[in-house]
């Protein structure tokens, strides 16, 4: 076994180190070959440097996973059904001309829809050709002139709170409606395709089959056609 290396120091330096309580292992010598001489021994003991502790690693930051987006709310599917009917408009045109009024057929369409739909027509939502709509409550009890005034009013900013029956007219020629949609919350809609001077019209009734049975919807469109073709009945 190798003997531990002896620190090089003069005898006087060793004596001073003992008296002052200094460890020569901590003293750097300035003499030849690093020999410690008396002048190298400090007056007070040399402090042993504290060991340098490695810095503790920073705590890991756990980033929570983003919350899952809520599942979209899907409206339940509705069973939509539709029926079409051809309507003769000549009797209505003759009736309007004989009355001397300048009413369009729209007021009579609204009144006929309210009469034929019964409880489902307690409120009519008339879709304006230029966009927007107006709600006409109790149209069944209103005269055509009053309905015409309401139809010409400014469109409402938002849809009415109640589920009104929707009625509209598409003023084009040569088009036959075969299908249509229902706005949310609406169970019944009548769409009439007829120009302003047309002799005939095509009417389509669209309904929610879960709310209005098909035989009831067929009865509504039949009564609607009969009322338009015999306009005197609209005034009774």
pTM recorded for the entire structure: 0.66
Cα distances (angstroms) measured from residue 93 to each of 108, 119, 167, 192: 11, 28, 20, 15
Q: What's the pLDDT tens digit per position in 175-191? A: 888 788 888 889 999 99
For helices 214-229 and 106-117, angle between their N-to-C axes, nearest 10 degrees: 140
pLDDT on residue 54: 61
pLDDT on residue 15: 81
Per-position DSSP letters for 15-53, written without gaps between them = HHHHHHT--GGG----SGGG-B-GGGS-SSPPPPPPPPP
Q: What's the pLDDT tens digit per position in 116-165? A: 999 999 999 999 988 889 999 999 999 999 999 999 888 886 655 467 89
pLDDT on residue 33: 75
pLDDT band at 216 (very low <50, low <70, confident <90, very high): very high
């Amino acid at each position: 076994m190798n003997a531990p290396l002896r620190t090089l120091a003069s005898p006087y330096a060793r004596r001073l180190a003992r008296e002052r309580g200094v460890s020569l292992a901590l003293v750097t010598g300035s003499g030849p070959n690093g020999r410690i001489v008396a002048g190298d021994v400090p007056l007070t003991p040399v402090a042993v440097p504290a060991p340098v502790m490695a810095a503790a690693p920073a705590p890991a930051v756990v980033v929570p996973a983003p919350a899952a987006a809520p599942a979209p709310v899907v409206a339940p599917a509705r069973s939509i059904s539709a029926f079409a009917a051809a309507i003769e408009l000549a009797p209505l045109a003759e009736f309007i001309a004989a009355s001397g009024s300048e009413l369009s057929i729209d007021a009579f369409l609204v009144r006929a829809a309210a009469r034929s739909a019964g409880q489902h027509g307690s409120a009519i939502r008339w879709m304006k050709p230029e966009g927007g709509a107006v709600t006409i409550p109790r149209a069944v009890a209103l005269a055509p002139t009053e309905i015409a005034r309401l139809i010409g009013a400014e469109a409402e900013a938002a849809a009415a709170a109640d589920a009104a029956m929707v009625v509209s007219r598409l003023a084009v020629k040569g088009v036959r409606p075969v299908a249509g949609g229902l706005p949310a919350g609406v169970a019944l809609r009548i769409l009439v395709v007829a120009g302003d001077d047309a002799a005939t019209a095509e009417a389509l009734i669209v309904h929610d089959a879960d709310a209005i049975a098909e035989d009831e919807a067929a009865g509504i469109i039949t009564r609607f056609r009969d009322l338009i073709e015999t306009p005197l009945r609209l005034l009774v």
